[in-house]
Structure 1
Amino acid sequence: MIPVRNKKEIESLRLASLEVALALELASSMAKPGVSLLEIDRAVEDFMKSRNVKPAFKGLYGFPNAVCISLNEVVIHGIPTDYKLKEGDIVGFDTGSNLDGWFGDGAVTVGVGKISSSDEKLLASSFNTLNNVIDNIRAGMRFKEISSMLEQNIRQSGFVPLEGYCGHGIGRKPHDAPEIPNYATGPLNSGPKVKEGMIFCLEPMVCQKSGKPKILGDKWSVVSEDGLNTSHHEHTVAIVDGKAKILTQI
């Protein structure tokens, strides 16, 4: 069953999601040449704790850090290292919050200094896909229709979705029903419908030539088998007055 939240619960999730937005703003502001991935991870963790927020990802399924930091070809689940960012890198930040037992989740991919035009298009694909789809969600449509819209937007921008990973519900657990792939699976007129009060995360994961995933030796970092740069954006949204309202924003 997909939980349906009342106004008080939605407000609790909005506050948890706001903490994610603030953490991602901090991480993005630090994405400059010479700054290490571990520095950013530690700064975000310290920031969350200073606000009495638990970093939801630390220890989740055994993940060792507060932020998934995914560099260049890594699309999701990158583990922060002492690597220092360089001009032209692109880097994804994905983090979650636990505020009084309610969870938020969001992600952004940014460029470090001046990036290539091809990487600009890549980042625009996941960013625009996310926002275009959110703008078109309506109560009563099927989640499979959302997946189809995600795929269409990604492919129309010249890229392909990562296979085997998906968006998800969120609430009292960091990952809940439903699963929301970034590509269509099965008849679009089947499966659960979007209802007022549902809260879920959409996260287009964009690859260049192949959507086939490969997990690196650290057992976490996911790349495309094509080895090319990737991009990932994510928002937590709530269905309010029949439309999707972004919760992970300041």
Structure 2
Amino acid sequence: MAIAIRKPDEIAKLAAAGEIVGKTLKYLQNLVKPGMTLSEIDALGEAYIRDHGAVPSFKGLYGFTGSVCTSLNEVCIHGVPDETVVKEGDILGLDIGTKLDGYFGDAAITMAVGKISPEDEALISCSKGALYHAIEVIKPGMRFKELTKILEDYITEAGFVPLRDYCGHGIGTKPHDEPNIPNYLEGKPNQGPKIKNGMVFCLEPMVCQKSGHPVLLEDQWSVISDDQLRTAHYEHQVAIVDGKAVILTEA
């Protein structure tokens, strides 16, 4: 496994791509309201990305038709934008990728549409909390499997379970690169590659309620849990700089 070590100028380019992702997510979060369709949200996201000089990297990636993954309620990841209308009380995952100057950005949020239930608030809080907790404790010399265990422990201690078979990932001049970073541990945490200064990767806790077993829907993109309950997903792209994780995808 060859995990790239990025030079400062490369990290700066990744940060520029990532900043547009963060700004686009913030823009959409402030804009989305009941009555909008997923396709409208996708179009607004694509226009914002292009207006800021980047390309929506998800569009056409592996055949995906949208620019924004719009994952509604039970859909955890890879929701395809269509004419579905979002309603008061929904929760909506927005996952966005950009390409700028040959480098990629990638991040996601799960947001409330209007007022949501306390149960949905707890679900979203778990995904977001797991992400920021993991970022805070990252340090060079830690193994990626230790980081995976930290994510899994946070999720399970909050009473939820991680989605299986999908994971965070390295990123750079490709949208998905080494290493894969699951949210559940397989093997022992003291195995595998170590985190080093200059590495850039995406962490993305995907949180389910009772079962982490994934089910792929008929569109061959949208992934739900087989418990068919609501899910949440958060993601940031981070660079390891001077011994700590720096978020590249905050607005």
TM-score (normalised: structure 2): 0.99
Match of 1:107 in 2: 108
Match of 2:78 in 1: 77
CA distance in 2, matches of 1:88, 1:51: 31
Task: Tell me how many residue pairs correspond in the alignment.
Answer: 250
Match of 2:192 in 1: 191
- 1:208 paired with 2:202, answer no
Match of 1:12 in 2: 13
CA distance in 1, matches of 2:150, 2:37: 36
CA distance in 1, matches of 2:226, 2:45: 30
Name the % identity: 55
Match of 1:65, SS state, is coil
Match of 1:149 in 2: 150
Match of 1:51 in 2: 52
Displacement, 1:69?
0.3
Displacement, 1:20?
0.4
CA distance in 2, matches of 1:127, 1:245: 16
1:217-232 paired onto structure 2 within 5 Å: 217-232=218-233
Displacement, 1:226?
0.2
CA distance in 1, matches of 2:30, 2:85: 15
Displacement, 1:30?
2.2
1:226-245 paired onto structure 2 within 5 Å: 226-245=227-246
| TM-superposition CA deviations, 1:138-193 (whole Å, max 9, x none) | 00000000000000000011100000000000000000000000011111111000
1:169-188 paired onto structure 2 within 5 Å: 169-188=170-189
Match of 1:220, SS state, is coil
- 1:123 paired with 2:116, answer no
Amino acid at match of 1:169: G
Q: 4+ residue stretches of structure 1 with deviation over 4 A?
A: none
CA distance in 1, matches of 2:159, 2:32: 26
Match of 2:89 in 1: 88
CA distance in 2, matches of 1:232, 1:44: 18
Match of 2:36 in 1: 35
TM-score (normalised: structure 1): 0.99
Displacement, 1:51?
1.8
Displacement, 1:31?
2.1
Displacement, 1:23?
1.0
Q: Please, which runs of 5 or more residues in structure 2 have no aligned partner? A: none
